[in-house]
Structure 1
């Protein structure tokens, strides 16, 4: 994404903003619409099932009123109160009275009433079609009969196949009520049972359309299913879930689908009518509208991006031109210029760009000049340091050495003179490597040549020992690193006192550093001179007056050595001087322990 052009980023960001804005508005509108629609649907469905409940209640009320019809016929009540007729004629008369009454009931224009029974010791019946009592059936064993004897309220028997008659064919719904004597209200003289065609409730329930996934069902107080046209067979699960919410209007989830439930009671029968609506089905049209809105949002976004593309291309071309010119500058071409013929913000940017290029050109010229001056200054400083180093060695050392060789030859000691000449030649040849790294072994060879010459010169007043581990001989160090310290030991030792001078050169090491020590038993340096010398040694700034240090006995060579070490390895390395008057001086050189095996590396 970081590699995308600004034009592409603007197009993507604009398109996403437009798309997300439209989708967000569509989603919020859809959410609010479905929420309002569910509320409206809930209220509408509630009204529908309340009307259905009222119709069922009226239907049950008609059947209930039919069950008290015997009380309005005194002949029937008198016949029922005659529990044991005196003769068969009386029994026949009783039977005819009751059945004629039942036949009159069946004349009413209610096609849903199929059969009416009056049950005493004997079962009496009348039906819309010819029915025969099944004498093998003991109606006293039915639960509804037992329950009717225990209450004066109507008992509603859920849907069941016709009972008591032979060859039952119809599914009926019944109302059962006990009949009490009008003379002795505590006396039960019979039971009336009215069988109504179940299609009456079905007709009312089926008139309520709750969609292909919804429906209507009726349950009683014992959660027996009275009626249902809900597909799927989850009526009781839905009802039990709704009971847990304690609300007559609720939304529940079953089988990965949300259902909207509305419930209303039928108090006469202690039933509950429950309407089931699939939320997905209710919102089907809303989902279609939402999808169309989303599609239009995507199309509109692409059209907006297309239009915006041409605007971006037109207005960003000057800016992209500046970017292109900047890439040219990045490749070193400073001759580019933005053709500024605009007077807006882009024009101001182009003018600033041209001014920036011009200033870069001027700065580069100034920088080149400064670099040249610094280089020349450093070169001159380096040259001065080299001259100071060589001047330290050349004047008195070479003169004294040549004088000693001359005396040896005059004394007839030609072999010793030749040996001293060879050592001086080796020493001078080693000095030609001042700008390179040499092995510690080569440095030690130079020291031995130098000290051998000085020992011969002082004739027994100078002794020296070099005890540097052979294992360190392959380590590379800057050339002539130890020689100035050794030379100072000779100058401040042998030249300043008549007693024997002993110079000891030795080394030490740890895991990270190498330590070289040049110790003598010379005159030493007092505290003030030692502090000034140490201060000059620690200074990394070249001083034009350093040429006077030697004459003052301070040792310019030590300054150069310390400076070379710190510039090459870092300020944590270098040279320190420890001296005690009349005891001697020790110069310590600290180098990093680098296992380098490459020759001829420039310092």
Structure 2
């Protein structure tokens, strides 16, 4: 098939008209399906995360209330506040009772089903130098540095009270071998103190939750959404979760700013949907990482189905386009056969085929064209006569400028005879103006002629507006023989008067200057008239900068002429301050042939 034929083009157009909308719709559906899937995933993760955070906060508040009861226990307070020396029997009796009370409070939390993740309860009595651990026993002759939660309290003081912090559990090994602390999973510990009437701290309480406590809540998010979760505090310290994602979290969000954020980030070379929510109660941030690829698995199947539909549609569109193009091409083929006969010189042929579609008008137009062609050939002689008349008319038009000059000279002579000096001066200036303007069709003239053109114009305007303006021309004589565009300065002089000086309130001044420097001609046309409004000035400057045609045709034509003839480094520049002044600067090369 000829790829340049109309039939082939029709086939391609029909196929594209079928496939492009379908392909576009497929891409849009895929895009919005992915977008909606990601949006829905964000909402699901956020809602699940917020629900789990709320549940966790409720449990922590309940546990803290239980510890408050433990702090208020009279027996513990009585033993902790003892200052007198006790017998060993009395001391041991107190110890057994305090230990039993701790076990009671721990069992009580489990009994009311607040949480099953309570690990232990600790109480340290500074006055007795004793530590009670509900999951172990009690220890005597104890120092602060032997236990992590007391070591932190000794270091941070009141900062660690009434908040949940990670601590190393108390055991025989951790007490006697602090170097082993790093290998233990940390508990979630809530610390508080009891003071006596004098304000002295007599007991430090610590209620501990198992490391699995947080897993209960973030697994709830993982199980429902298939996500990876980490839990960190505002300092980036991990409480639970995936350590690889934690490293990313610490680098990206550890400043505490990402408290409520939904975004997509690259984590471990995989694009992940990152959703963060922060518990206002604990200050912990839950960060969920979901693989974008896994989230879009369902959309991938839909996209595959859509692509199959597009492929099948392409085959159908190809068959349909071939059929339709053949049907549409037949009348065109018939027209081409008649045109070939005309090309061979047979102007008598006519298309007799009758149709009721648009080709009937085409056939009718073809027949009319042949009729008109025959009439045209018969009228060639008439056209030759018309051409002769046109040539005569052109010759007459060439005579008209001379008639104009002669007429103006006659008016000038009559005005001089009758003493009408103003009229004589105006007619004389007008005559010279037209002679230079027409100048036998020349566009490039000497600077002297270009200067005479605007000087004659100024003479006419002085008569029109007596006393309205003064002007000064400062162009050295040695420049007068350079060749310049004929209308290099006159349009700008005209604009200065008609748009500037004529519209100003008082008497104005027009200054025209020309100079040469380093082989370059510089011209200045300056007036202190009305000036150009800012918006209009921007339009003019844009026209000059982009070198385009516009309503300011005189200005743009001179600028284009200079740039085309001498290069983009030359041209016209206009500046103005509204109600004060306007300056036109023209730059062009001076290395032109002198006359």
| TM-score computed with the length of structure 2 as normaliser | 0.52
Of residues 307, 316, 320 in structure 2, which corresponds to 1:307? 320
2:172 aligned counterpart, secondary structure:
coil
Secondary structure, aligned partner of 1:95: helix
Where does 1:45-444 land on structure 2 (aligned, <5 Å)?
45-83=45-83, 85-108=85-108, 109=110, 111-121=116-126, 122-128=129-135, 138-139=146-147, 143-146=151-154, 149-150=157-158, 153-158=161-166, 161-166=168-173, 171-184=185-198, 186-209=199-222, 214-229=227-242, 232-236=245-249, 240=253, 248-254=260-266, 258-327=271-340, 330=343, 340-350=353-363, 352-353=365-366
Say if 1:71 and 1:237 are closer, same or farther in 2 by CA, change over 3 A: closer
User: In the aligned structure 2, how far is the partner of 1:206 from the partner of 1:141?
Assistant: 27
Shift of 1:120: 2.5
Structure of greater Rg: 1
Structure 1: distance between partners of 2:173 and 2:240 = 26
Write out per-residue CA displacement over residues 246-287 of structure 1, whole angstroms, 9 at most, x where no aligned residue.
Answer: 672432432576544433332332212233334444344334
Shift of 1:237: 5.1
Distance 2:242 2:224 in 1: 11
Does structure 2 conserve the Cα–Cα contact (< 8 Å) formed by 1:151 and 1:178?
A: no
Alpha-carbon spacing, 1:103–1:345, altered in 2? closer, same or farther (3 Å):
closer
Do the aligned partners of 1:215 and 1:229 also contact (CA within 8 Å) in 2? Answer: yes
Q: CA deviation at 1:201?
A: 1.1
**Counterpart for residue 23 of structure 1:** 23
Using the TM superposition, give the Cα deviation of residue 337 of structure 1 relative to its aligned residue in structure 2, in angstroms.
Answer: 7.0
Per the TM alignment, residue 170 of structure 1 is displaced from its structure 2 partner at its CA by: 5.5
Q: Structure 2: how far apart are the matches of 1:260 and 1:206?
A: 18
CA contact (8 A) 1:260 1:278 kept: yes
CA displacement 1:389-420 (0-9 Å, x = unmatched) = xxxxxxxxxxxxxxxxxxxxxxxxxxxxxxxx
Deviates more, 1:72-81 or 1:161-170: 161-170
Give the 3 Å change call, closer, same or farther, for CA 330–288 of structure 1 in structure 2. farther
RMSD over aligned CA atoms reads: 4.2
Change (3 A) 1:247 1:196: closer
Please identify which structure carries the higher helix content: 2
Structure-2 change in CA distance of 1:84 and 1:286 (3 Å)? farther
State how far apart, in whole Å, the 1-side matches of 2:359 and 2:24 are: 35
Is this contact kept in 1: 2:130–2:141, CA < 8 A? no
Separation in 2, partners of 1:56, 1:135:
34
The Cα of 1:294 is off from its aligned counterpart by 4.1
Is the Cα–Cα contact under 8 Å of residues 217 and 227 in structure 1 kept in the other structure?
Answer: yes
2-structure distance, mates of 1:219, 1:229: 11
Instruction: Name the CA distance, whole Å, in 2 between partners of 1:251 and 1:242.
Output: 17
Q: Compared with structure 1, are the counterparts of its residues 195 and 251 closer, same or farther at alpha carbon in structure 2 (3 Å cutoff)?
A: same
Secondary structure, aligned partner of 2:186:
strand
Per the TM alignment, residue 123 of structure 1 is displaced from its structure 2 partner at its CA by 4.0
Return closer, same or farther for 1:129/1:182 CA change in 2, 3 Å cut-off. Answer: closer
When structure 1 is superposed on structure 2, of 147-156 and 75-84 the one drifting more is: 147-156
Gap change, CA 1:131 and 1:31, over 3 Å in 2: farther
Structure-2 change in CA distance of 1:83 and 1:191 (3 Å) = farther
Q: Is the 8 A contact 2:121 2:207 kept in 1?
A: yes
Q: What is the alpha-carbon distance in structure 2 between the residues aligned to residue 259 and residue 98 of structure 1?
A: 51
SS of aligned partner of 2:80: helix
Cα distance in 1 for partners of 2:243, 2:225 equals 9
Give, in angstroms, the shift of residue 19 of structure 1. Answer: 2.0
Aligned equivalents of 1:56 and 1:95: distance in 2? 34
Q: Report the equivalent of 2:460.
A: none
Distance 1:344 1:156, change over 3 A: closer
| TM-superposition CA deviations, 1:429-458 (whole Å, max 9, x none) | xxxxxxxxxxxxxxxxxxxxxxxxxxxxxx
CA distance in 2, matches of 1:224, 1:129: 28
Does the aligned pair in 2 maintain the 1:250–1:260 contact within 8 Å? yes
1: CA distance, partners of 2:311 / 2:255: 41
Deviation at residue 204 of structure 1 after TM alignment: 1.4
Q: Note the 1:518-529 alignment, pairs <5 A.
A: none
